[in-house]
Structure 1
Amino acid sequence: MAFESLTEKLQNVFKNLRSKGRLTEADVKTALREVKMALLEADVNFKVVKQFIKSVQERAVGQDVMNGLNPGQMVIKIVNEEMVNLMGSETTEIPSKQGKEITIWMMAGLQGAGKTTTAAKLAGKMKSKGKKPLLVACDVYRPAAITQLQVNGEKQGVEVFSMGDKNHPVDIAKAAVEHAKNNQQNLVIIDTAGRLHIDEDMMRELEEIKAQVDVDATILVVDAMTGQDAVNVASAFAEKVGIDGVILTKMDGDTRGGAALSIKAVSGKPIYFVGMGEKLSDLEQFYPDRMASRILGMGDVMSLIEKVEASIDEEKAREMEKKFKKAEFGFDDYLESMNQMKNMGGISSILNMLPGIGGNKLKDIEGMIDEKDLARKEAMILSMTPQERANPAILNVSRKQRIARGSGVDISEVNRLVKQFEQTKKMMKQMPGMMGGRGGKRGGFRLPF
């Protein structure tokens, strides 16, 4: 995740604070100096950092904190609360006018920010919430932009309205709204053209669309990997065209993440969603409190639970729960648990949301759990016959050799997989209590290692 380095540095600062029985004003100032440096290195806007440290310091050196039973914990609590305030305090929904037949959202942003993909992700997200979206291809300049939207729209099961690349974007937008009215679609998402940099032509086109079409929300898509520049882009768009909020993309990348902490404070506009991967399902609602918890290494258990519930079929989960409890599961179930984990974004995505795991700890655990090894296991299981998957006891030497050839691995790896599988089965038999007694989605997910 974007904040790995920042999380690690903050955790070290907090460890020092917790180790002190009493805090002096000098202790707090030293700790906040380190916090300040960590935030600046994460590419958080300088003015934002200055105000943030000032707010924390004013509260942290108060009588209640300095004379409290656990001043170190109190300072951490204050840092957490001020970080939440910085990012907007509460979750903001994208605006839509009450009682209006069709809601219209216009996507804006520079080229390369992931605007077209994000438009499709957003349409899929809204479709899952019961909306009937229509995607509109208004980027008539970038080669393949229309095709990209059509391909992604098809994957999401969302219609894409296009008039090719010879019509003016304003005419396309107007025709799309009429099309939505005639086809009972209640959400229109307009994908507009981006440029390599902010220029007058792009701004004028956005203004024309807004003048001709009753846009409910202008959503700016910015690339989190551009750090401080993302904040500058948000400020420029807010000033020149007017935006209602932001979607931050590439938050799963190896970035410093300062944009998420700066955008609201600098532009005054909220973050609606964050893109956490390349898959069309990798768009998460932005919760300032949960993001602050992740940054401070406190985990994000609520988002993890939601991810599990969205990714796992309840009936399958109950069925698997029963099999695990009775130790009657086969390799198909093993494969299913791997797929469940993949649907949730893989091991890294899950670990990122667990409390106390970040920085070096995360790297250590990821080092122990090799994603490529899981892919090899999947290949071996897929090389088995249905009978072999259901009843691993029939796996003799010749069968194992065939599986090894089919999956491109050495027979020793097949033996290791079978041994691990048997050990897991034995462990489940010996420890029925560890399986939990409630079933349901939250009880059905098992890590396949």
Structure 2
Amino acid sequence: MKICIVGGGLAGLAFAVSLSKAVAEDRDVEISVVEQRDFSSRGATFGLALNGQVALQDICPSLLEELKNIGILLPTGGYMLPWYCVRDGLLEHARRCQNVTIFTNTSVVSATDKGVDDILVTLEETSADGTVNTTTVKMDLLIGADGVHSSVRSLVGAPPAVSSHTKCWRGALNDLPPHLSHVLDIPTGKMIKTESGLFGIFNFNTSMAGFVSWVATSKNLDVMTPFEALEGIEDSNDLTLAQGLLEASTQQEREFFTTLSTIPLNMETGWGGKGRITLIGDAAHALRPASGLGGSLAFEDAVLLTRAITKHMDSDESIDAALREFESLRFVRCQTILEDQTRIAESGYGTAAKSFKWTPEYEKWVFAGPDADLKPPLNMYVGDEENVAEGGAVKRETNHRVLAARPTSSSISLSSSLSSS
């Protein structure tokens, strides 16, 4: 079996490591990871929640221990980490896998699922001198793990990401100027409200000497720089601190921004997979960054998709049916958490009518990991008499049944350019 994973981020690498471990004795399984760019150290602060730890324990226990040793333990039991540390750890373990090959500077430009034996995948590799080499290969499976602006999502005709109308800048400093050394006294993190968003400071000094990262967000899309995003900070000391961190950062960090987007899950569009193509991580269910659950859900995807594929290999079940079963298992859980994180994110900007505090039952369900019950508890938030999510538990159960009954195979002809994630 030949499997092409598009995207060398957290979801793609976690799935590659997970599947490689599960099929280690099967020499006929070949896993290719295709990444559009080189592996740089750019990235935001990453929250490894308890459910992500449960999944990583299944995927790669030694990596989980490595991350715990360098992360900052949070009151929730999660860990705060630099994003690139998580990615680099997964990348190192993926490179050790004998049946995993990683291609960088390579894009998927088209894919045709013939509905018979294979998928024809056309790849474009850009060399250092700018030369583009195109090749078409046969694959048994195509996995879209290429982020919120996924090209594979476009290939299968799934709806594109939806903007949350929030600009975001990120940066990190390994060597603070003397006049900013007091930042290292901040306990773990500090969130400062601005007129149009938030400015966050994350202190990793206790585990990574002198390392600090920051994030600036703005709901005003007319704001052009992170300095403008600081407008409205009331405390002069906070304003001076935020400005100092921006000034000490690189020009690239001050200029590069993303517009945060999500990928809603609903009955009409479903998960997005089709035939022998499926989606994982942000390509399937990108969340608002509220409680650090996006990466952890991606790790859950990796575990459960691995189980679905190995189950198929050990039975007469078609691979199409195995992928649809995986999507059906994930739909309600990811939809519930996605909607929850949107509410919490908006309440952080002061646009929601109330704050949302999880009930103990819901918190336990969120943090349970890959083997959590399919349906969430009825009460999600303290003070609610019933699940506040639209449609409630009955609608969620109906969604699950309908998704499970979706067609398990199809013939599709697809073509698109790989976009930046």
> If the length of structure 2 is used for normalisation, what is the TM-score?
0.26
* Larger relative contact order (Cα-Cα within 8 Å, sequence gap ≥ 6): 2
> If the length of structure 1 is used for normalisation, what is the TM-score?
0.24
Which structure has the bigger radius of gyration?
Answer: 1
More strand by share: 2
